[in-house]
Amino acid sequence: MYTDKVMEHFTNPRNLGDVDNPDGIGQVGNPTCGDIMRISIKVEDGRIADVKFRTLGCAAAIATSSITTEMAVGRTLDEALHLTRAQVAAELGGLPPSKMHCSNLAAAGLHAAIKDYVEKNGLNLDLSGMETEEDAHGNGEAPEG
């Protein structure tokens, strides 16, 4: 059902916890499955310098949170905003269709933390293309791209 990489990130999650004095915090949840994710970020020179997560959910939710944090570190805010749920799932070697909503939440949580940072700091960053929590409540299929 799950790839070895999903199981590795589930049993040994990376970046678990909270960033000290975070610059942005995003919390998202999916009422369908009960998953809740909180992602905190530290931004330095326009790049994500640190990112951590706390997730209450299934193996896929924890694994997608873990891999999303790994994928986000070192990226510019704009690059991190363009990190998609399909990329998260692909990085894990795929997810069962019934668990794709978990990757939707991980990307949405990261994007919510960036949005929080942008709004707190009055930055001019285009947020129109970011995936939101509402995107996680779709049909469970990964979008193309």
Quick: pLDDT tens for 61-82: 999 999 999 999 999 999 999 9
21 compared with 135, residue with greater pLDDT: 21
Q: What pTM, to 2 d.p., does this model score? A: 0.86
Report, at the CATH architecture level, how domain 4-131 is classified.
Answer: Alpha-Beta Complex (3.90)
- Active-site residues, by number, are 33, 102
Q: What pLDDT score does 145 carry?
A: 34
Token pair belonging to 66: 């873990």
Domain map (residue ranges) of the chain? 4-131
- Mean pLDDT score across all residues of the chain: 87
Q: What pLDDT score does 83 carry?
A: 93
Give residue-wise pLDDT tens across range 13-40. 999 999 999 999 999 987 677 889 999 9
Q: What is the DSSP string of 75-116?
A: -BHHHHHT--HHHHHHHTT---GGGHHHHHHHHHHHHHHHHH
